């Protein structure tokens, strides 16, 4: 592997934190320290903000084609370095190498998609209803942005925000999660190599997220926040944005229902469940959290799912043949353990898994629980781990009501061979995305996002760039 970047990236230069502070990055498969990176404080954040503010005007004037070409080159560089980036990601985050490679491809695709969008920002010219006034309509970058990303998709959550910001002509400060700073720093190195001008992207790694971000959000110079993380932190940030009316895109938590009707193709449903539950070891906001299975097929579905889950190989993500890596850290695993214990105490049966292994690393086995009580805590908590909780239902109205009985609304999964029923239930779900007979909805060309307390705005798709653009309208009377 080439040299690991571990400093702050400010104004196009690699620098240490002003007070020289560093923080450790752990390998969740061993619990050992991988390396140290700079630990930014408020002073560093100010410098990063200043660099972004200074670069904004010229960056906004840069030809869309030039911005597009930078993204395109970065897309290619990422793909060329797939193995290197995948190893880096696995070492800091834990996911198996095959999944890390998949994420590298997914992450790169956001840059290709937004390189294509950069040159399609259009305006308009029209006559107003009075017949006299004309309207000239143009699009402007919203301005310097703060991008805050989580640890579960260290590269793709970065490119999903950086891509549209670059395409729209915005400058930015990126604050990655403290658990996974290395992928973001590598990404900054790639963008520099691809020709991104100094100051357009600045990266501050820090263990003091609140101290670093709050002054920027309250300072009046950052014009936009794009955040992916928990609903709890999202609420705090929304409040901070209120004072200076900062525009926001919020990708928050989920509590996805996975509904299997009695007319579903069970092979398709079990395949879908494996993806919707086990992608990223269940550490995804799109992960199926509540399995509602029709009473007549629940036993068969549970048996087949348990068989598939039990056959998965758990181990360090770098080892060949491993399907399930460690969870991100001890806190994350502790939460999963508590949720399973609570469900079992309330009467759930463990079909497979459910027991924390001895030894180093934050491993937790693929687990299937059945006869789960609706009162269990995991019904209204994001599990964020490899645990499938099965409940039964009897009819369509009932399952829709129960599926929607949550403050979240990110994604839902529906399995049925009936087209009518599939569309009816999809429309009835209070969610931003539905997987109809599939366990995977994420795609750079589709608008990703949720309703209710799962967030505001969308990322990706044709609308992804809109989040980083303003309208300006010029009124022109024609005499
Ligand atoms: P998780 O529990 O999955 O780590 P969080 O919402 O805590 O989710 O974290 C998502 C991102 O938000 C991370 O980059 C984290 O450092 C950041 N974060 C957490 N608390 C704050 C805060 N008070 N202000 C700004 N960013 C924060």
Kindly report the CATH number assigned to the domain that includes residue 216. Answer: 3.40.605.10
Q: In this structure, are 195 and 51 located in the same domain?
A: yes
Nearest to 24 by CA among 95, 84, 85, 92: 92
Closest CA to 146 of 73, 48, 70: 48
CB 216 near ligand 1, within 6 Å = no
Residuewise pLDDT in 10s, the chain (479 residues): 457 899 999 999 999 999 999 999 999 999 999 999 999 999 999 999 999 999 999 999 999 999 999 999 999 999 999 999 999 999 999 999 999 999 999 999 999 999 999 999 999 999 999 999 999 999 999 999 999 999 999 999 999 999 999 999 999 999 999 999 999 999 999 999 999 999 999 999 999 999 999 999 999 999 999 999 999 999 999 999 999 999 999 999 999 999 999 999 999 999 999 999 999 999 999 999 999 999 999 999 999 999 999 999 999 999 999 999 999 999 999 999 999 999 999 999 999 999 999 989 999 999 999 999 999 999 999 999 999 999 999 999 999 999 999 999 999 999 999 999 999 999 999 999 999 999 999 999 999 999 999 999 999 999 999 999 999 999 999 98
Measured between its terminal Cα atoms, the distance across the chain in Å is: 68
Same domain? For 317 and 239 the reply is no
Structure-block tokens of residue 89:
């990601």
Same domain, yes or no, for 293 and 215?
A: no
Q: For residue 265, how many C-alpha atoms fall within 13 Å in the half-sphere facing its CB?
A: 11
CB 399 within 8 A of CB 292: yes
Name the pairing type of β-strands 133-141 and 469-477. Answer: antiparallel
- Residue 352 and residue 230 in one domain: no
pTM more than 0.85: yes
Residue nearest to atom 26 of ligand 1 (CA): 209
Residues 241 and 276 in one domain: no
Q: Is the CB of 230 under 6 A from ligand 1?
A: yes
Say yes or no: 33 and 171 in one domain: yes
Residue 109 host element (H or E): helix 97-118
Return the closest-CA partner of residue 287 out of 102, 89, 433: 433
In a domain, 38, yes or no: yes
Residue 448 lies in a domain: no
Q: In angstroms, what is the span from residue 225 Cα to ligand 1's centroid?
A: 13
DSSP E strand boundaries for 142-243: 145-148, 172-175, 201-203, 224-228
Active site (catalytic) residues: 251, 285
- Any ligand 1 atom below 6 A from CB of 177: yes
How far, in Å, CA of 225 to CA of 394, rounded?
Answer: 43
Residue 396 CA to ligand 1 centre (angstroms): 37
Cα(229) to ligand 1 centroid in Å equals 6
Nearest CA to ligand 1 atom 23: 210
Neighbouring residues of 66: CB distance < 8 A, sequence distance ≥ 6 = none
Written in H, E and C, the secondary structure of 321-340 is: CCCECCCCCHHHHHHHHHHH
Expressed in angstroms and rounded, the spacing between residue 375 Cα and the centre of ligand 1 is: 28
- Whether 399 is in the pocket of ligand 1, judged by its Cβ within 6 Å, is no
What's the CATH number where 263 sits?
A: 3.40.309.10
Question: 333 with 350: CB under 8 angstroms?
Answer: no
Tell whether 216 and 283 lie within a shared domain.
no
Q: What's the structural domain count of the chain?
A: 2
Parent domain of 314: 256-443
Count other Cβ atoms within 10 Å, centred on residue 197. Answer: 17
Which among 250, 252, 251, 248 is positioned nearest to 468, based on CA atoms? Answer: 248
């Amino acid at each position: 592997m080439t040299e690991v970047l571990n400093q702050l990236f400010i104004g196009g230069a690699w620098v240490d934190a002003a007070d020289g502070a560093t923080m450790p990055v752990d390998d969740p498969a061993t619990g050992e320290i991988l390396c140290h990176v700079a630990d930014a404080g408020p002073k560093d954040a100010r410098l990063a903000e200043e660099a972004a503010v200074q670069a904004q005007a010229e960056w906004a004037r840069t030809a869309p084609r030039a911005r597009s070409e930078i993204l395109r080159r970065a897309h290619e560089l990422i793909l060329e370095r797939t193995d290197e980036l995948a190893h880096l990601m696995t070492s800091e985050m834990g996911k198996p190498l095959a999944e890390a490679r998949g994420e590298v491809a997914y992450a790169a695709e956001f840059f290709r998609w937004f390189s294509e969008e950069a040159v399609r920002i259009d305006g308009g010219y029209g006559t107003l209803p009075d017949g006299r006034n004309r309207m000239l309509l143009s699009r402007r970058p919203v301005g310097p942005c703060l991008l805050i990303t989580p640890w579960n998709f260290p590269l793709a959550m970065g490119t999903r925000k950086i891509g549209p910001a670059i395409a729209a002509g915005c400058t930015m400060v990126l604050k990655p999660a403290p658990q996974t700073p290395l992928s973001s720093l590598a990404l900054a190195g790639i963008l520099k190599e691809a020709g991104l001008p100094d100051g357009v992207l600045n990266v501050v790694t820090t263990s003091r997220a609140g101290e670093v971000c709050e002054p920027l959000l309250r300072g009046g110079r950052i014009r936009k926040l794009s955040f992916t993380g928990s609903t709890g932190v999202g609420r705090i940030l929304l409040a901070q944005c209120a004072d200076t009316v900062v525009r926001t895109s919020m990708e928050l938590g989920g509590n996805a229902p996975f509904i299997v009707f009695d007319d579903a193709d069970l092979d398709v449903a079990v395949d879908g469940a494996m993806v919707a539950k086990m992608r990223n070891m269940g550490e995804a906001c799109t992960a199926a959290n509540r399995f509602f299975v029709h009473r007549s097929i629940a036993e068969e579905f549970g048996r087949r799912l348990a068989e598939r889950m039990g056959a998965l190989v758990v181990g360090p993500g770098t080892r060949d043949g491993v399907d399930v890596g460690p969870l991100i850290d001890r806190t994350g695993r502790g939460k999963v353990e508590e949720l399973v214990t609570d469900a079992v105490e309330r009467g759930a049966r463990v079909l497979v898994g459910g027991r924390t292994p001895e030894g180093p690393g934050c491993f937790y086995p693929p687990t299937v629980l059945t006869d789960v009580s609706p009162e269990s805590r995991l019904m209204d908590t994001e599990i964020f781990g490899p645990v499938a909780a099965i409940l039964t239902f009897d009819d369509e109205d009932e399952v829709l009501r129960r599926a929607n009985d949550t403050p979240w609304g990110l994604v839902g999964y529906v399995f049925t061979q009936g087209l009518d029923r599939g569309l009816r239930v999809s429309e009835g779900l209070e969610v931003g995305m539905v997987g109809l007979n599939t366990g995977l909805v994420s795609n750079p060309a589709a608008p990703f996002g949720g309703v209710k307390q799962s967030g505001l705005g969308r990322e990706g798709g044709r609308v992804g760039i809109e989040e980083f653009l303003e309208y300006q309208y010029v009124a022109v009377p024609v005499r």
